[in-house]
Structure 1
Amino acid sequence: MPVDSKFPKIEDHGVLLNNRTAALVSKEGEVDFACFPNFDSEIVFSSILDREKGGYFSIRPVDSQLESRQYYEADTNILLTQFSDKRNKVLSIMDFLPMSFEHSVYFSEIHRRIETFTDVRVKIDFSPFTSGKRGIIEVADHKGFMFHSQSSSQFFSTDLDLDVEGDSVSGIVNLPATEVKWLVTAHNLRKAYPPELFASEDRLGQTRRYWKEWLLKSKYQGIFFDTVNRSLLTLKGLFFEPSGFMVAAPTTSLPESIGGERNWDYRFMWVRDTSYVIESLVQLGYVEEATKFYLSIIDRYEKDGKLFPIYKISEDSTLEEVTLDLSGYMNSRPVRVGNGASAQLQIDQYASLIIGLRFLLENAGFLSVHTLEKAFLIGDALLKIWKEPDSSIWEIRGDKKNYVYSKALAWRAFMDLGWLYSRMGEEEMASAVIKEAKNVKSEIYEKGVSGRGYFAQSYGSDE
């Protein structure tokens, strides 16, 4: 199990991102959540969900009295965890998931750079997968250690003198001042390779250039420059490059409240959430991400004949919801993979797409006439279903209701759909859709306002 059996605070983490997957790194230098090769793939490190069974990759000074802090290298998603005594820096760990300008080239690797500022004893612990799924450990002299699960492998590349202890690799190494050491973990390799073959310095330079050059496209020049840039980098990293779909979060089962049961798997694409993010990106000049998303989701709609509220990011996962035998963060059970909300009707998802599409087209976006024709199919579907009860943004697992939120978004979407029809020269359809928008608005004011005069959560409700 990890060096520290206590659960770290969720807020005491940094996140690594590379448009394929993500990893959480605690302030104590522990990678305690990561999936490979994709956001929704097998969970390789999961000690944030179970301190006894979960996998981990920990690097930290032996001296537990040192203070630690985390920060990102400016204008990148490269994370630094720094350990210091009361006067000076002692140890720094730089972590990143490699990026590539060639979108077809990706890396299922975490690169970790140890830099010392004084003589220091460092404790290293590595144990991927969950206990019970860890198989044999192959030792490759001067190269590292190969771990096997029931379905994959995880290689730990290092030339440090570490030992196999049960189903983990551990050791304490004495590092002199000004020492630099690279440790790399890579998913599903067939053979062991020495650290230098992973070319960490080259990958670091490439990753640094990628994030900095992408950020230069931003049009934002306000007083919250640093905050906006940090948000942009995080949002960009949550997009899955092959499809342009964005995960709602890179993790599963971190609780809404400690000890509660609302612990959901968010490693999927919610149409609503992505549409909102797309609008923000478009405002700041990132039209390419928005266009790619719309091309993908419209294509999926045409193939499926309906819009689902949730989509898989890759073929590695299933939306079928199952429970894992893990204790949960601070014993917040259950730990889930998959998400049962995928079967719900959420009318606002249809509306969000249409609203976002107009926003894209009004802000330098461009879609072919052929693609816009397909988009009208989504509008036609909304015209047919807007009166139905649904699960809406609340995703409550029970009886469907006439949620005011869904109705309000349908009203706005019909106004925007009328604009789209008019833009395409379909004035008769534009008039018909705008007339329907007025009908929705009238119904909301008739049925969606509580006796106290405010908009209710659903028709007939005082909430």
Structure 2
Amino acid sequence: MADPAERDQPDQPDRPDRGPTYPPIADHGLIGDLRTCALVDAHATIDWLCAPRFDSPSVFGALLDPDAGSWRIEPVGGTTTTHQFYLPDTTILITRFHTEEGVVEVHDFMPVLRADDPDHRQRVVRRVAGVRGTSRLRMVLEARPDYGRAAAEVTEVEGGLLVTGDGVRLGLSATTGLEVVDGTVSAEVEVSSGEHVLFVLEVLEEGGEVHPGERLDTDELFEATSSFWRGWLSQSTYVGRWREMVNRSALTLKLLTHEPSGAIIAAPTTSLPEEIGGTRNWDYRYVWIRDAAFSLYALLKLGFTEEAARFMAWLSERIGEDAEVDPETGPLRVAYDIDGNVPQERELGHLRGYRDSAPVRVGNAATGQLQLDIYGELFDSVYLFNKYGPGISHDAWADLTRLLSWVMENWDREDAGMWEVRGEPQKHTVSRLMCWVAVERMMRTARQRGLPGELAEWAEVRDAIYRRIMDHAWDPDLGSFVAHEGASTVDASVLLMPMVKFVAPNDPRFLSSLAVVEERLVSDTLVFRYEPEATDDGVDGEEGTFSMCSFWYVEALTRAGRLDDARLALEKMFTYANHLGLYGEQVGLTGEQLGNFPQAFTHLSLISAATNLDEALG
């Protein structure tokens, strides 16, 4: 299989001016500096950047509205073709333009020189490098702070330009002349083979000065950043059949990590729609307990214990917070911002939304829901960290014991479930399943470490949950576990049952459920998370298949011993990756990527599916 980092982007038509159009969601690459990320489309336009953090307001937001700011670099007169790839084993993104006059590349990256760098400077570096012949390019930078609500003021200063607006202070420097008209910065450059032109946008502290671009050693920044990413990836213990895809997924998860805090966000974007023109548009720039816990599993699976330890430290702060327990949501919220605060959902009515898919939302109302499954994912990640990492502290164990007491008293409640439905709460099977995991993993951890706990009491609750699922979530007529008690529909989360050791993978009830899931939810290898037409999720519109569930399907086939089916399903799923090996949340009926992009949950489930299938194949 070709390395996705070296896979060329399909030929693109001439595009002399972006205009009021939107590139496909999949036509993007991701760069970042472990504090925030930028999305760069296949024509070298940065159309999404929040600064200085993932959850900050956007500076470039053209992904959601053409008037919300972008940073373009493009050949004058249009291009013949473009190709885009990553420098292998790094997050340095290269866009190659082929024109009649020559070939020129744009190298995009955010420098990371070393881990935990106390002198880190947040910069977007764009190096235009001539490859063959002579090419003429145009650079246009239109910064629009505060999600496009603020016009940037551009001032000429020593060393370059100062770009300010609504609390944002940026410094733009270049190795060529810059022109400013009504707050828009532009330049035209001619680059021949072996030459390069540099543009650097730096996020400045209050009062910070612009650093002249000509004083930068671009080669040094490029090589140091390349060395950092290759050095980090070299720690991976995975050497299996799908190394390139697994490595790209690992790099993507790392890009979604906030190094100073250890937080792991779900995706770097907000409001990319699950249905074009629809309202299923959510903000994923936060730490979902569920997603981050699964991310921890994937990182540990590959040997990245440092990232796991940092996230556990962040998580321990949430568990240990002595806040009054909300009777509606429980002691933990579904999602937090990087600082551990609860983001409130609101709409940005001034933005059109991606391809007019309004509303655009920031914050997320799911934080007001009760989702009991998050406790199972949390306790499972603690168990794995305790098993493969240095172990948890006495204070953390005390906090977990307190948390478990709440779970044991509340596991039988109705909730919004794993899919965060905004309809009526139900007694979701997956919620009970993960509550069973919470109790069972605490018992394992206690025995593993000899830690104190009321094991007899815990076992009684664990067994009660088990019997409840077997007696009330199993439909003998359907031959499957159902989505929730009283339902006649199925849910893709049943695929998790053997993964979390609730049932054996050859248990007749699981194999029968797998067959029903295949009949009702699987389209080729793509998997819906629930039966769309028979499920009221409280939101208008339709959605596509969930790529995460598709990788769960691969793993379920693997555990059921259907290795040929699993391998074919995995290879088919790889065809839905974009030209860089990246995945969004969903795949639409026509094969397009939908939802926030790229999504951590999809990439971590890819890692799990690939590594487990590798082990099974031997």
TM-score, normalised with respect to structure 1: 0.93
Q: State whether structure 2 residue 143 is matched by structure 1 residue 122.
A: no
Q: State whether structure 2 residue 250 is matched by structure 1 residue 232.
A: yes
AA aligned to 2:425 is K
**1:90 equivalent among 103, 112, 130:** 103
**1:460 equivalent among 463, 468, 486:** 486
* 1:277 aligned counterpart, secondary structure: helix
Q: CA deviation at 1:424?
A: 4.3
Residues 379 and 171 (structure 1 numbering): CA distance in 2 closer, same or farther, change over 3 Å?
same
AA aligned to 1:7 is Y
* 1:8 aligned counterpart, secondary structure: coil
* Residue number in structure 2 paired with 1:411: 436
Of the structure 1 ranges 33-42 and 379-388, higher mean CA displacement relative to structure 2 is found in: 379-388
Q: State whether structure 2 residue 23 is matched by structure 1 residue 8.
A: yes
Query: Contact 1:82 / 1:89 at 8 angstroms: preserved in 2?
Result: no
* Residue number in structure 1 paired with 2:308: 290
**2:447 equivalent among 415, 418, 422:** 422
* Residue number in structure 1 paired with 2:150: 133
AA aligned to 2:74 is R
AA aligned to 2:178 is L
Q: CA deviation at 1:198?
A: 4.5
| Cα distance in 2 for residues equivalent to 1:192 and 1:321 | 35
| Cα distance in 2 for residues equivalent to 1:172 and 1:257 | 38
Q: CA deviation at 1:462?
A: 1.6
Q: State whether structure 2 residue 59 is matched by structure 1 residue 44.
A: yes
Residues 55 and 309 (structure 1 numbering): CA distance in 2 closer, same or farther, change over 3 Å?
same
Query: Contact 2:342 / 2:367 at 8 angstroms: preserved in 1?
Result: no
| Aligned 1:269-418 pairs, distance under 5 A | 269-305=287-323, 306-314=331-339, 319-324=343-348, 325-418=350-443
Query: Contact 1:108 / 1:186 at 8 angstroms: preserved in 2?
Result: yes
**1:109 equivalent among 101, 113, 123:** 123
* Residue number in structure 1 paired with 2:285: 267
Q: CA deviation at 1:178?
A: 2.2
Q: CA deviation at 1:66?
A: 1.9
Query: Contact 2:90 / 2:226 at 8 angstroms: preserved in 1?
Result: yes
* Residue number in structure 1 paired with 2:5: none
Deviations 1:185-220 (A, max 9, x none): 112353333103444333222211111111111111
Q: CA deviation at 1:17?
A: 2.0
| Aligned 1:51-90 pairs, distance under 5 A | 51=66, 53-85=67-99, 90=103
Q: CA deviation at 1:10?
A: 1.0
Q: Which has the higher contact order (CA 8 A, sep 6+)?
A: 2
| Cα distance in 2 for residues equivalent to 1:371 and 1:160 | 55
Number of residues of Structure 1 aligned to a counterpart in Structure 2: 458
TM-score, normalised with respect to structure 2: 0.71
AA aligned to 1:285 is G
Query: Contact 2:31 / 2:91 at 8 angstroms: preserved in 1?
Result: yes
Q: CA deviation at 1:125?
A: 0.3
Identity, % of aligned positions = 30
* 1:119 aligned counterpart, secondary structure: strand
> Aligned-pair RMSD on alpha carbons?
2.1
**1:191 equivalent among 191, 205, 209:** 209
Of the structure 1 ranges 30-39 and 408-417, higher mean CA displacement relative to structure 2 is found in: 408-417
Deviations 1:421-453 (A, max 9, x none): 223436872232122111101111222234523
* Residue number in structure 2 paired with 1:248: 266
Query: Contact 2:97 / 2:105 at 8 angstroms: preserved in 1?
Result: yes
| Cα distance in 2 for residues equivalent to 1:361 and 1:318 | 27
**2:467 equivalent among 431, 442, 446:** 442
| Cα distance in 2 for residues equivalent to 1:150 and 1:399 | 40
* 2:137 aligned counterpart, secondary structure: strand
* 1:362 aligned counterpart, secondary structure: helix
Of the structure 1 ranges 397-406 and 41-50, higher mean CA displacement relative to structure 2 is found in: 397-406
Gaps of 5+ in 2: 1-15, 324-330, 490-618
Deviations 1:382-407 (A, max 9, x none): 11221111112111123321111110
| Cα distance in 1 for residues equivalent to 2:149 and 2:419 | 37
Query: Contact 2:105 / 2:130 at 8 angstroms: preserved in 1?
Result: yes
* Residue number in structure 1 paired with 2:36: 21
| Cα distance in 1 for residues equivalent to 2:105 and 2:152 | 32
Q: CA deviation at 1:267?
A: 0.4
| Cα distance in 1 for residues equivalent to 2:87 and 2:176 | 26
**1:34 equivalent among 49, 63, 70:** 49
* 1:156 aligned counterpart, secondary structure: strand
